[in-house]
Amino acid sequence: MLEITMISTGEEVLLGDITDTNAAWLSRLFFQHGFPMTRRITVGDHCERLAKEIESCSFNSDIVIVNGGLGPTTDDLSAAAAAMAADVGLEQSEHWVAEMKAKYKKLNREMPAANLKQAMLPEGAELIDNPVGTACGFSIKLNRAWICFTPGVPSEFKFMVKEKILPYLQLHYPQSQSLHCHRLFTYGLSESGISDTLKHIVLPHGYELGYRSSLPFIEVKLFAPSNDRYALELLNEMERLLGDNIVGKNLSLLDNLEYLIEKKQKKIGLLEHSTGGFVVNWLNQKCKLSEYIVSATVNHNATKEESNLETLVSEIDKQLSLIYRHSKVDIGLYSGAIAGDCFTVGIITIEGRWIQQLQFKREYTYNAQRSIIATVLLDMLRRQLEGITVFGHYESLNRILQKT
């Protein structure tokens, strides 16, 4: 198995001041192309520590990607650490000095002397061009590993990986098979519940199942060899097992709603109490969806809902009718106030109206409550548009009432 390691550098990454999006992006890209990452390491701005890590990785990895530390400032130490690990000196690349001067000339600026540091490379290193920045990359062969040094700026890093590093891997390791990630977005099921549901599925060699939990959704991912027909059979079986808790296939709930609303040309009106504008703001994240929102009212001063269920249903009926008739919409959405650990949501269309009261099974933060209530309401909308039962199954909620 090909051993691939990534070393991320910088105190800001190590201390959590910035999120290491480069590492996540590279792991995903490499995996999809058949080059799964073996390890990821983070080292601060310390030359000797970084040099020791580079040397250590050179003994147990085939490929090492070092990210960051190629800038012109004193805390950019990757070139010096590489030279230390390889026990060689630094030499100036006249080619890269000329490239940097040309870049500054295009901007009608004189190149600062500090940028000369970016042309100092370990002796014998192979330069990797960077047409979108002043930090060139470079590679060295050390012990077992081919070690590639890349800039930390995401746009420069991604360009270098796509145009230089990935083609190198594909050329030298052609036996690796690229993978395609099929995604099923679910709501209402727990991660352990999904795992139990899918545990009997037998995956052929080269296939993998993955899960990503992001409240309130769980994304189920099937990694399969590209253009493999068996993947469709597996997906069909997964869809059958997960049922109507799938809110989107290869697209999120919001993306799915955008597709459905635009396809069916449905105008929407909203009245929000407990969600406090969460639903309309969520819908407005999609430009096409926002075009179909005719009215949206947010009531921040709503009183607690009636404990008498008959009175509650009657009141919600009135509210839904007001949205539907006065706003002249095709679909009316309603989120009621939270009463203790219970909340009520409703939807009305020309086909009918659906009201349900649900109870949280555990404590949530205020924002988490709003997110869950909004998701339930939009899931009801999704279900109505797809022509399936509007009342779904939600493992984290108890249903107190449902009325049609």
User: 390: which 2 tokens?
Assistant: 């509007």
- Pair (246, 261) in one structural domain: no
The answer to whether residue 256 scores a pLDDT higher than 90 is yes
Within 61-108, residue ranges assigned H as helices are 78-86, 94-106
Give the end of a domain, one of 250, 285, 300. 250
Q: What is the CATH number of the domain that holds 41?
A: 3.40.980.10
| Average of per-residue pLDDT across 49-57 | 97
pLDDT-derived band of residue 136, with 50, 70 and 90 as boundaries? Answer: very high
Rounded to the nearest angstrom, the gap between the alpha carbon of residue 253 and the centroid of all alpha carbons in its chain is 14
pLDDT-derived band of residue 158, with 50, 70 and 90 as boundaries? Answer: very high
Domain count, the chain: 3
What is the reported pLDDT for 213? 87
pLDDT-derived band of residue 176, with 50, 70 and 90 as boundaries? Answer: confident
What is the reported pLDDT for 359? 95
- Pair (219, 298) in one structural domain: no
Q: Which of 26-40, 52-66, 351-365 has the highest mean pLDDT?
A: 52-66
What is the reported pLDDT for 113? 94
Average pLDDT, rounded, for the chain: 92
Residue with token string 């990785």: 57
Q: What percent of the chain has pLDDT over 70?
A: 98
Within 161-286, residue ranges assigned H as helices are 166-172, 191-198, 230-242, 253-264, 278-283
- Pair (245, 258) in one structural domain: no
Range(s) of the domain holding residue 297? 254-403
- Pair (96, 166) in one structural domain: yes
The answer to whether residue 366 scores a pLDDT higher than 70 is yes
CB contact at 8 A, 382 and 260: yes
Q: Give the contacts of 197 (CB within 8 A, at least 6 positions apart).
A: 189, 241, 242
Task: Please state the pTM of the whole predicted model.
Answer: 0.74
Query: What H or E segment, with its residue span, contains residue 25?
Result: helix 21-32
- Pair (263, 387) in one structural domain: yes
Q: List strands edge to edge, sheet with 217-225.
A: 208-214, 217-225, 179-187, 246-249
Q: Given its phi and psi angles, is residue 34 left (phi above 0), alpha (psi -120 to 50 degrees) or beta?
A: left
Name the amino acid, one letter, at 256. N
User: 337: which 2 tokens?
Assistant: 């106030």
Distance in angstroms (rounded) separating the CA atoms of residues 75 and 135:
14
pLDDT digits (tens, 9 = 90+) for 295-353: 888 886 654 555 566 777 787 888 888 887 877 899 999 999 888 899 999 999 999 99
- Pair (104, 198) in one structural domain: no
Distance in angstroms (rounded) separating the CA atoms of residues 226 and 232:
11
pLDDT-derived band of residue 82, with 50, 70 and 90 as boundaries? Answer: very high
The answer to whether residue 291 scores a pLDDT higher than 70 is yes
Rounded to the nearest angstrom, the gap between the alpha carbon of residue 202 and the centroid of all alpha carbons in its chain is 27
Handedness of CA 201, 206, 207, 210 (dihedral sign): positive
What is the reported pLDDT for 315? 79
Q: Coil, strand or helix: which one is 369?
A: helix
- Pair (33, 142) in one structural domain: yes
- Pair (34, 101) in one structural domain: yes
What is the reported pLDDT for 304? 53
The Cα angle at residue 310 between residues 307 and 313, in degrees rounded to 5:
90
Q: What is the CATH number of the domain that holds 341?
A: 3.90.950.20
Rounded to the nearest angstrom, the gap between the alpha carbon of residue 177 and the centroid of all alpha carbons in its chain is 23
- Pair (244, 258) in one structural domain: no
Q: What percent of the chain has pLDDT over 90?
A: 75
pLDDT digits (tens, 9 = 90+) for 190-214: 999 999 999 999 998 888 888 888 8
59 or 401, which is more confident: 59
Query: Between helices 253-264 and 366-386, what is the axis angle to 10°?
Result: 40
Give the end of a domain, one of 143, 172, 201. 172
- Total H helices, total E strands in the chain: 14, 18
- Pair (32, 145) in one structural domain: yes
- Pair (107, 212) in one structural domain: no
- Pair (270, 324) in one structural domain: yes
Longest dimension (CA), the chain: 83
Give the end of a domain, one of 224, 250, 276. 250
Query: Between helices 230-242 and 191-198, what is the axis angle to 10°?
Result: 130
Q: What is the CATH number of the domain that holds 234?
A: 3.30.70.2860
Distance in angstroms (rounded) separating the CA atoms of residues 201 and 355:
36
